[in-house]
Amino acid sequence: MHSTNQKVVIAMSGGVDSSVAALRLQEAGHEVIGLWMQVQGEGPAAEEPAFRQALRIAQYLNIPLTPIDLRSLFEVEVVEYFLREYLNGKTPNPCALCNPRFKFGLLLENALQMGAELFATGHYARIDSDPLRERLVLLRGVDRRKDQSYFLWGLSQEQLAHSRFPNGELTKAEVRRIAQKGGVPLTEEGESQEICFIPHGDYRAFLQRRLADRIGVKGEIVDTAGQVLGKHEGIFGFTIGQRRRIGVPARRPYYVLRIEPAFDRVVVGDKEDLLARGLVAQGMHWISIPPPHEEFRAVGQIRYRHAAAPCQVIPRAEDTVVVRFDEPQEAITPGQALVLYQDDRVLGGGWIREVEGGQG
């Protein structure tokens, strides 16, 4: 990382990744300013443990840290979306929605208003340029096990132009070593929560609490032939591919194949029934290439921990594609993001709306 003495604002969470990113920017000679995004809690930022942890690290690095209160807008645009998707039988991906709108949207806008030239985060991703297309491209992080480009497909060219990912060339082990060597005062966890607005990651408890007045009629759990196997307390408690806590006593394991909100019904079956050949994705955003008009080859990733698989991509409209995988994929889930890659390059992404050729 070259020193250019630029003013850089970094989103600080209090975790190891953003802390090391801030340290590396500082060591490169940049003027670093921290922003902390408040999206939950009833009181001021000073009452939030996450802010106090971020402030402790900022003070250690001698970096000013300012909290930005985005709770009201975050509730409407992210939390309500999260709840609505589960009520509609889908499995949402709030991080892919939050990043372009909040972290690289509102926080970046605040950074520019503060006179910063660049905005940084601790994401494991990289940015490069494509001189032939005269555009910036988003790349996977070097550490494929921690790569977070899957959550960043919604960024615009303008957002990429102002963004930096200091950890993109590092592995997680290297980041931890840098933190230890630099004496960064992390907590024992030293990590950000998987879903920042859900305490302890218990999304079912969160849904039950927040949807108590919106839960519909209890429904049936059926097999692929329509035979009733049991009852459920609400479709929001299920996601495609789920095996545990289905509530159907049986000698063989059942997996959730499909959720039918119109009938408050959950369809279960065998593990092999989870396989499907294709999907339809809408709301496509092409980050590293112009919108394609012809079929092309790529690898498609259907959830964060999924190993991207070779596929044929067929554009149906500027914002819709049909994807047909070379081999059937397990548990393609409406509501999750489809992200398309060629090698390390993120071509674009969109929201999975339909499953084709399988899953019950």
Residue 95: active-site member: no
Residue 8 near residue 30 (C-beta atoms within 8 A): yes
Residue 100 near residue 70 (C-beta atoms within 8 A): no
Q: Which of 98, 160, 298, 340 is catalytic?
A: 98
**Residue ranges with strand state E in 102-148:** 118-120, 125-130, 135-140
Residue 196: active-site member: yes
Cβ neighbours, 10 Å, residue 92: 23
Q: Apex CA 303: angle with CA 251 and CA 237, to 5°? A: 50
Q: Which of 196, 229, 309, 322 is catalytic?
A: 196
Q: Which pair of tokens denotes residue 74?
A: 């975050």
Q: List helix spans (H) across the chain.
A: 16-27, 49-61, 71-74, 80-87, 94-98, 108-113, 157-162, 172-181, 203-210
CA-CA-CA-CA torsion sign (276, 280, 282, 285): positive
HEC string of 51-74 equals HHHHHHHHHHHCCCEEEEECHHHH
Q: What is the DSSP string of 244-274?
A: TT-----SS--EEEEEEGGGTEEEEE-GGGG
Tell me phi and psi for residue 9, to 5 degrees: -95, 135
The Cβ-side half-sphere exposure at 168, using a 13 Å CA radius, reads 19
The residues annotated with a catalytic role in the active site are 98, 196
